Amino acid sequence: MASESTPRAQNARANGLVDLYERAGYVRVEPPILQPAEIFLELAGEELRRRLFLTTDDGGRELTLRPDLTIPVCRAHLAGGSPNRAAAYCYLGPVFRDRGGAAGEYVQAGIESFGRDDREAADAECLALALESAKHYGCSALTIRMGDVGLFSALIAALKLPPVWQRRLLKNFNRSGTLEADLATLKHAPPPDAVHAGVLAALQGSDPAAARAFVTDLLSIAGISAVGGRTVGEIAERFLEQASLGATSGLAPEVTAVLERYLAIAGDPDAALTELRALAADAALDFSGALDQFEQRTGFIAAGGVDVASIRFATAFGRAIDYYSGMVFELYDSAGRVKWPLVAGGRYDRLLTLLGSPQPVPAVGFAAWIVELEQAGASR
Amino acid sequence: MSTLVVGVPSKGRLQENAHAFFGRAGMSLVQPRGGRDYRGTIPELAGVEVAYLSAAEITSHLAQGTVHFGVTGEDLVREMIPNADERVLLLDSLGFGHANVVVAVPQAWIDVRTMHDLDDVATAFHAKRGRRMRVATKYVNLTRTFFARHGIVDYRIVESLGATEGAPATGAAELIVDITTTGTTLAANGLKVVNDGVILRSQANLVASLAAAWGKAEREAARALLDRVAAERAARTLREVRSRFKAADAELVAEAKGRFGAIAPLGGPTSSGMLTLLAPPEAVHELAIFLRERGAETVMVAVPEYVFARENSLYQALVARLDR
């Protein structure tokens, strides 16, 4: 099937894609193109700023052309009633991102599903619909790359590391998607705080109230009154954390070994699960809850008719966006004729809370890039 | 109109220092219609026009190629011009306008001494408050690049165009990135510089635009201008050391080169042992001791007015970059 490349034919195919989503029960929405910039910067961080097309309104409020549709759809959902209500949305429209030379305006389609407590089934349906999106464009030779951010969080929690290490590992996993380089630096982490060594030793084992009183005294002796942004309690708490680390500067070798073994696990989801269970048993770590969910999800994916053996799962695979919390995936043209993912998405249970929902809302979705799909479809 | 345009700061200390710099290099900047004139000339050089602009304007003109040369701070070049080294060439640092761009946090943050601490605090702050730590600055790009290099992601930039050091006290931000010369303003506002938080040690530079039109006439004018700048720089950084004694020979000159960084700009000693060297000021005394040990009765040291060399390293650097 040689696909026609006229704008009319391309529009028809894109509309056909959204029809597919609507038939699957997703309600089409069209959030405003102009969005408050604040929310995107707060959620995605400063690295996004140079990618945004920013402008200012009369009152000096910073606005941006929407760089994606997930956040605008979430905002519309929150504005429309109880955050927890089950809802399924789909969209098609332009998004704007400075991609250094490549077109800054491009068309994106996608779905978002909110409020479903049967997370594993919802994940599997999301992946199935993503695969159907690619098929709609005639791309059937697809590489499915998959990861699970939640699994890593569960492992970190099971390792019962000091809070400092937990924060750092999670942050760096979210950011880089791969921790290999970071692990090397963590092994020989910063030298112990020599200047404060005496103070830290004195604080070791003391309770938060005593530490707080100590820091308050310290500041008043130094004649510092304004603490600026952080409370005395927070400063004292971090001092205590440092004290609890004691003389150890890097991660313990056995912890590093577990992390390295974990991050090396890759393969199809069934094979990976076997290795993960073996790791949990060998290291006497309990993160079976997360592993059971993983197994369940794989079951739902198989039941949906997807060849599980073809999925390339990797524990080290992540997407460089903070708000993902569970399964993440990207679909690529297997022949490699299109460099970028055709469709990508995942679970983001924290996002609606970050946007102001008083209670956590399960959420999963994906975005499909029309230009890439057209290319992959046409080059068959 | 193939005129070489030079952007010069139009006000304040930077203007005075720039005038002094050009003056030392034997170039007087003349504003034909008085101090309020925004165009000027350099009578000593043909085909050169001076544009009086603010340092920020000079920087953006350099990026766009609407001035050929400009005197501006490296901080502005790095902040305002993406991939600065692709678009401008920092020819020479001028020894004035010193200032550091630094990361400063409240003094009360006694647990924060390094950027590593700051990274940890930022992540904890984000996790606990559900919002990112705010950094007040006018150096948006320098901050972003520096924080990225230290792996810090949990922050937001709040643009600040004046009195940045007051932002933590007023609650507009938790920390700042700002320029400082002595640190007293920071201290007065209850702030301290993070140990490894010096982003840039900046000073005024003579900067060439790579985007400007560099025709034959502009290059000729640039060569003449840079000849004077290079001569002044050599004169500023070298001392003339003279003596006359029998034992002065090529071997002795070679030893002086190796041990004291001296050069013999006029060639080896004459048959009567007349010797002229140029040496860095800090090596002059040691060199004078050495020469007397070898037989010199008297060693005279003087500050040269100019040192004109056939090879103009500044001009060559410019041409090499333009023709790359």
Query: What Rg value do the Cα atoms of chain B yield, rounded?
Result: 25
Q: Return the minimum-mean-pLDDT range out of A66-80, A348-362, B28-42, B69-83.
A: B28-42
Which is higher by pLDDT, B279 or A219?
B279
Spatial separation of the C-alpha atoms in residues A10 and A16, rounded to whole Å: 10
CA angle at A242 for the pair A241 and A243, rounded to the nearest 5°: 90
Say whether both B216 and B295 belong to one domain: no
- A254 Cβ contact partners less than 8 Å away, ≥ 6 residues apart: A283
At B181, give phi and psi (nearest 5°): -105, -50
Say whether both A144 and A203 belong to one domain: no
Q: What is the domain-level CATH number for residue B45?
A: 3.40.190.10
Token representation of residue A203: 């604080």
Give residue A44's pLDDT: 80
Residues 56-85 of B with CB under 8 A from A: none
Paired strand residues for A108 = A93, A369
Q: How many CA atoms lie within 13 A of A230 on its CB side?
A: 30
Query: Quick one: average pLDDT of A313-339?
Result: 87
Say whether both B46 and B148 belong to one domain: no
Domain that holds residue B74: 4-97+203-234+313-322
Residues 188-207 of B with CB under 8 A from A: 190
Say whether both A137 and A234 belong to one domain: no
Cβ atoms of A2 and A138 within 8 Å: the answer is no
State the nearest Cα–Cα gap between A113 and chain B, in angstroms: 23
Average pLDDT, whole number, for chain A? 86
Say whether both B174 and B115 belong to one domain: yes
Residues 94-113 of B with CB under 8 A from A: 105-111, 113
Say whether both A133 and A231 belong to one domain: no
Is residue B169 domain-resident?
yes
Say whether both A127 and A24 belong to one domain: yes
Say whether both A30 and A133 belong to one domain: yes
Say whether both B257 and B215 belong to one domain: no
Give residue A180's pLDDT: 62
Say whether both A363 and A229 belong to one domain: no
Given the structure tokens 């040690």, which residue do they identify? Answer: B201
Interstrand relation of A311-314 and A142-148 (parallel, antiparallel or unpaired): parallel
CB contact under 8 A, A228 and B124: no
Query: Quick one: average pLDDT of B266-291?
Result: 90
Give residue A197's pLDDT: 64
CB contact under 8 A, B111 and A242: yes
At A98, give phi and psi (nearest 5°): -75, 115
Say whether both B228 and B284 belong to one domain: no
The DSSP-derived string for B105-154 is EETT-TT--SHHHHHHHHHHHHHHHSS-EEEEES-HHHHHHHHHHTT--S
Say whether both B60 and B207 belong to one domain: yes
State the nearest Cα–Cα gap between B134 and chain A, in angstroms: 9
- Which of A42, A234, A239 has its CB closest to that of B156? A42
Structurally, chain A folds into a number of domains equal to 2
- B203 Cβ contact partners less than 8 Å away, ≥ 6 residues apart: B73, B74, B93, B94, B95, B96, B97, B98, B99
CB contact under 8 A, A229 and B133: yes
Say whether both A22 and A120 belong to one domain: yes
Question: Coil, strand, or helix at residue A219?
Answer: helix
- Which of B124, B132, B133 has its CB closest to that of A167? B124
Q: Percent of chain B, pLDDT > 70?
A: 99
Q: How confident is the model at residue A187 (pLDDT cuts 50, 70, 90)?
A: low
Say whether both B266 and B121 belong to one domain: no
Say whether both B78 and B216 belong to one domain: yes
Is residue A251 domain-resident?
no
Q: Determine the residue type at A185.
A: T
Is residue A305 domain-resident?
no
CB contact under 8 A, B131 and A49: no
Query: Quick one: average pLDDT of A342-366?
Result: 93
Is residue A182 domain-resident?
no
Give residue A280's pLDDT: 94
Is residue A163 domain-resident?
no
Mutation target among B103, B149, B153, B174 for the A interface, most CBs of A within 10 A: B153
CB contact under 8 A, A219 and B110: yes
Is residue A49 domain-resident?
yes
Paired strand residues for A63 = A36, A55
Spatial separation of the C-alpha atoms in residues A191 and B180, rounded to whole Å: 29
pLDDT beyond 80 at A164: no
Is residue B308 domain-resident?
no
Which chain A residues touch B124 with a CB distance below 8 Å? Answer: 163, 167, 234, 238
Is residue A38 domain-resident?
yes
Q: How confident is the model at residue A2 (pLDDT cuts 50, 70, 90)?
A: very low
Q: Return the minimum-mean-pLDDT range out of A65-69, A89-93, A373-377.
A: A373-377
Average pLDDT, whole number, for chain B? 91
CB contact under 8 A, B107 and A222: yes
CB contact under 8 A, A354 and B110: no
Q: How confident is the model over A99-128, as pLDDT tens digits?
A: 877 889 999 999 999 999 999 999 999 999
Is residue B29 domain-resident?
yes
CA angle at A147 for the pair A141 and A151, rounded to the nearest 5°: 155
Q: Pick the last residue of a domain from B201, B218, B248.
A: B201
Say whether both A11 and A140 belong to one domain: yes
Q: What is the domain-level CATH number for residue B275?
A: 3.30.70
- Which of A238, A322, A354 has its CB closest to that of B121? A238
Q: Is ipTM > 0.90 here?
A: no
Spatial separation of the C-alpha atoms in residues B316 and A344, rounded to whole Å: 52
Query: Quick one: average pLDDT of B201-211?
Result: 95
Is residue A230 domain-resident?
yes
Say whether both B76 and B218 belong to one domain: yes
- Which of B147, B148, B174 has its CB closest to that of A228? B174
Q: How confident is the model at residue A1 (pLDDT cuts 50, 70, 90)?
A: very low
Say whether both A92 and A214 belong to one domain: no
Helix (H) / strand (E) element for B84: namely: helix B84-87
Query: Quick one: average pLDDT of B304-309?
Result: 88
Say whether both B41 and B124 belong to one domain: no
CB contact under 8 A, B106 and A229: yes
B269 touches chain A (CB under 8 A): no
Q: How confident is the model over A251-289, as pLDDT tens digits?
A: 778 888 898 899 899 999 999 999 999 999 999 999 999
Closest CA to B179 of B199, B195, B149: B199
Closest CA to B18 of B166, B146, B165, B204: B204
Which chain B residues touch A228 with a CB distance below 8 Å? Answer: 105-106, 108-109, 168-169, 174-175, 190
Angle of helix A119-136 relative to helix A288-303, nearest 10 degrees? 40
Q: Which residue of B has its CA nearest to A195?
A: B113
CA angle at A49 for the pair A174 and A369, rounded to the nearest 5°: 70
Say whether both A13 and A142 belong to one domain: yes
Q: Which residue of A has its CA nearest to B167?
A: A228
Closest CA to B58 of B219, B50, B143, B215: B50
Interstrand relation of B191-202 and B99-106 (parallel, antiparallel or unpaired): antiparallel
CB contact under 8 A, A175 and B151: yes
Query: Quick one: average pLDDT of B30-57?
Result: 87
Say whether both B317 and B211 belong to one domain: yes
Give residue A290's pLDDT: 94
Domain that holds residue A239: 197-245
Q: Determine the residue type at B169.
A: A
Closest CA to A369 of A146, A106, A96: A106
Q: What is the domain-level CATH number for residue A370?
A: 3.30.930.10
CB contact under 8 A, A230 and B121: yes
Spatial separation of the C-alpha atoms in residues A329 and A143, rounded to whole Å: 10
B157 touches chain A (CB under 8 A): yes
Say whether both B317 and B221 belong to one domain: yes
B148 touches chain A (CB under 8 A): yes
Which chain B residues touch A233 with a CB distance below 8 Å? Answer: none
Burial (CB < 10 A; 0-12, 13-18, 19+), residue A284, is exposed
Structurally, chain B folds into a number of domains equal to 3
Say whether both A350 and A232 belong to one domain: no
Give the CA dihedral B234, B236, B237, B239, nearest 10 degrees. Answer: 90
A-to-B residue pairs, Cβ atoms closer than 8 angstroms? 103
Say whether both A206 and A72 belong to one domain: no
Give whole-number Cα distances, A18 to A109, A110, A114, in Å: 7, 8, 18
Which chain B residues touch A354 with a CB distance below 8 Å? Answer: 130
State the nearest Cα–Cα gap between B203 and chain A, in angstroms: 27
Is residue A190 domain-resident?
no
Q: Return the minimum-mean-pLDDT range out of A23-37, A172-186, B114-128.
A: A172-186
- A140 Cβ contact partners less than 8 Å away, ≥ 6 residues apart: A134
CB contact under 8 A, A227 and B108: yes
